[in-house]
Chain A
Amino acid sequence: MSKRSLRDHSATRLSLVALTVVIVLLFLLLPLAQVLQQAFAKGPAVFWHSLQGEDPLAAIRLTLLVAAISVPLNLVFGLAASWAITKFDFPGKSLLVSLIDLPFSVSPVISGLIYVLLFGAHGFLGPWLIEHNLKIIFAVPGIVLATVFVTFPFVARELIPLMEEQGREEEEAALVLGASGWRTFWSVTLPNVKWALLYGVLLCNARAMGEFGAVSVVSGHVRGLTNTMPLHVEILYNEYDFVGAFAVASVLALLALVTLGIKSAVEWWHRDELAATRRH
């Protein structure tokens, strides 16, 4: 009887595993393969050639620049917000918690529009910006701002539940043992959340490089100047340059794979510590 239930168990497990594999193949790997196939449809030479132009390179550079600015900013913002929310009490805390989710609850297009309304030529701060010869909308600062806004919740959303669960006792223990607030942050708080922080940063980075809606509204689509990779892919696609569109798309996909690779490498490197400190 116990043998039978064991067999039933393994049958369930087998079908669940099979289902997962099918879903992964169908919805994740197949489209990725399709992107690569389209990119190389006319051979590697055409693929390479379509990445060589000024515009695709500018788009790749801009996307990397935007991610390089917004990810560190959101790492610091997210960490600071989670720290404040979970380790201290202050008035307006619950309001702050719901505000953090705002970028997820409004459409990215609306997020972009907010910036246009704020910084655009006819916007609230528009005249002042023009007077001082500052350009935000249809320029790189606007793209960075929109990306920072849209990707803000990723780090905080990873950290807050974890830090809430961990409580404040370890910080209090450190304090009683004579550690300064700064020291406590670096030696106790940060190491306790470093894995969640890594995941948050990876998600944030993926979205920062892939964001389309909000960036599209504030970018103005100036080729070679304000086109990020997703925007450039769309333009090429609309111009029926499929090889060009999928070539840039495959670079975007490659960047995502590289991030995943980095994550796995870091985990593998710290596998002993991970195994020992993970709760049983």
Chain B
Amino acid sequence: MIDLQQIHKTFGAFTALDHVSLSIPRGRMVALLGPSGSGKTTLLRIIAGLEHADGGIIRLDGQDATDLSARDRRIGFVFQHYALFRHMTVADNVAFGLKVRPRDSRPSKDEIRERVSTLLKLVHLDGLAGRYPTQLSGGQRQRVALARALAVEPRLLLLDEPFGALDAQVRKDLRRWMRRLHDDMGLTSVFVTHDQEEALELADDVVVMSHGRIEQIGTPADIYDNPATPFVYQFLGNATRLAATVQGGTAHLNGWQIPATAPDGAAVAFIRPHDWTLEDAAAGANATLRHASVLGSSLRLDVTLEDGQDIEVDIRRDAGQAVPAAGSALRLTPNRVAVFPATA
């Protein structure tokens, strides 16, 4: 169990982490998701002990580790650019963490060789033990970095943009494999990413960060279904942002009245494209179709609301169903709407 409380970090006048608190239970895979510059790497480095927080407490398995040296934390770190020891072979890279142990806890030479060969098999690199890092592909280097970090049996594995430097196909394969490895080995891991798809697909818990603050923590379903802030809505993408007005607990938007907790005044509403119902326009139209396109089993409608705002609507399409013509009048009702104060 890793516990962070009120971690604060500034670089000069710039606040990189603003009182961040986070708990990571054993066995979980957690994604730190946020745009570039949101403080993800800094948080990872503070957990590893490579950077010292200005304030806050770090507890590892119940022990206060705030002032514990990175050396003694037993945390595995896979650097964004892998940071393999360039003058060492793959085998020596993987063996390093074992070789530098103090004499009384250091495995014998044979045991180390055994462990290295097991780990290299695990990451499918047996046969490349004698290569130098420059003689490997990006994906292979990444797996060497992983094997090197796992060699010391870390209580926590940290990965900084582990798939960032790889091309699309390798990336997809590697992340599925990574998830299986996590489960098979019973690891606890935190990985950094700015790719929401990666975070939602891979993680048990997603921590969304922005400007050094945590915007939301939740399971991928939580995060997707109930984004806590406008930022999370926007960062996860796939939601239309609309202007609305709140009065006495009700948001007014294009003639709809939606219950809202935001205070009176200007507000923003987020609606996902698949959260609309298309009704019979005879009951009164409230939108105009600009363009319709068929996307396999769904129909993508580009629509202008009566109040002038543009939205995207995805609805299920039955085979053979007619595609509405551009310019036709529609009657739409939103199923799920999130309303936030406009300033937030």
Mark A residues whose CB is within 8 Å of B.
169-170, 172-180, 183, 187-188, 191-192, 273, 276-280
Contact = CB atoms under 8 A, between A and B. Distances in A.
Given A170-B84, A177-B97, A273-B87, 17 more contacts: A169-B79, A170-B85, A170-B86, A172-B77, A173-B77, A173-B85, A175-B50, A176-B49, A176-B75, A177-B149, A177-B151, A180-B71, A187-B85, A191-B87, A191-B88, A276-B135, A277-B87
A169 B83 contact: yes
Contacts of A177: 96-97, 100, 148-149, 151-152
B48 interface: yes
Contacts of A176: 48-50, 70-71, 73, 75-77, 149
Contacts of B79: 169, 172-173
Given A277-B132, A280-B134, A178 B83 contact: no
25 contacts: A170-B83, A170-B84, A172-B50, A173-B83, A175-B70, A176-B71, A176-B149, A177-B100, A177-B149, A177-B152, A178-B71, A178-B72, A178-B97, A178-B152, A179-B71, A187-B85, A187-B100, A188-B85, A191-B87, A276-B132, A276-B134, A276-B135, A277-B86, A277-B134, A280-B134
B81 interface: yes
Contacts of A179: 71, 96, 100
Contacts of B73: 176
Interface in B231-278: none
B interface, size bucket: 20 to 34
Contacts, number: 74
A144 to B, nearest CB: 34
A192 B100 contact: no
B101 interface: yes
Contacts of A183: 100
Nearest to B69: A175
B48 to A, nearest CB: 6
Nearest to B81: A169
Nearest to B77: A176
A276 B96 CA distance: 19
Q: A-B pairs with the 3 shortest C-beta distances?
A: A169-B83, A177-B97, A179-B100
Contacts of A173: 77, 79, 83-85, 148
B70 A192 contact: no
Interface in B61-112: 69-77, 79, 81, 83-88, 96-97, 100-101
Give the residue among A175, A192, A278 with the most B Cβ atoms within 10 A: A175
A172 B49 CA distance: 10
A266 B135 CA distance: 23
A145 B251 CA distance: 82
Nearest to A172: B50
B76 to A, nearest CB: 7
Contacts of A277: 86-87, 132, 134
Contacts of B74: 178
A91 to B, nearest CB: 13
Nearest to A193: B87
A197 to B, nearest CB: 13
A273 B77 CA distance: 27
B289 to A, nearest CB: 54
Contacts of A187: 85, 96, 100
A106 B287 CA distance: 80
A174 B70 CA distance: 10
Give the residue among A172, A178, A277, A279 with the most B Cβ atoms within 10 A: A178
A174 to B, nearest CB: 7
A174 B87 contact: no
A277 B93 CA distance: 14
A236 B247 CA distance: 103
B71 A175 contact: yes
Contacts of B100: 174, 177-180, 183, 187
Contacts of A191: 87-88
Contacts of B81: 169
B186 to A, nearest CB: 21
A279 B134 contact: yes
Contacts of B101: 178
A150 to B, nearest CB: 32
A279 B101 CA distance: 30
A179 B72 CA distance: 9
A175 B134 CA distance: 22
A174 B75 contact: no
B46 to A, nearest CB: 13
Contacts of B77: 172-173, 176
A182 B79 CA distance: 22
Contacts of B87: 191-192, 273, 277
